[in-house]
Amino acid sequence: MTSSYRINYQLRAHKRDPLIEFIKGLLLTPFILHAKPRKPVLNSPVGGGPDLPEERNDYQEEDKPMVDANLQRYLEIMKSVEVMIEEHRRKALKGVPEHSRLHRIVPSVASFFTPLPLEAAFLDANAKHSIAARRFVPPSFNDIRRILNTAQVMAIAPTINLITFDGDMTLYDDGTSFTDNSPLIPLLITLMRAGLRVAIVTAAGYPGDASKYEERLTGLLRSFGNQQLSEKLLERFYVLGGECNYLFRCGWKQTESGSAVVGLTYIEPEAYQPADMLAWKHEEIQELLDVAEENLKRNVAAMNLKAMILRKSRAVGIVPTNNGKIAREQLDECVLSTQQRLLEYQQMSGPSKIAIPFCVFNGGNDVFVDIGNKLIGVQVLQNYLGAAPDATIHVGDQFLSTGNDFATRSSCCTLWIVNPEETQDVLKELTPLLKFPAEE
Pairwise CA distance, residues 274 & 292, whole Å: 25
Is 173 known to be catalytic? Answer: no
- Compute the C-alpha angle 220/226/227, nearest 5°: 95
Choosing from 17, 143, 168, 397, the catalytic residue is: 168
Pairwise CA distance, residues 440 & 375, whole Å: 32
Pairwise CA distance, residues 215 & 226, whole Å: 17
Cβ(408)–Cβ(179) under 8 Å? no
Pairwise CA distance, residues 253 & 52, whole Å: 89
Burial pattern 81-95, b for ≥16 Cβ within 10 A else e, equals bbebbeebbebbeee
Choosing from 17, 143, 166, 405, the catalytic residue is: 166
Task: Supply the residues annotated as catalytic.
Answer: 166, 168
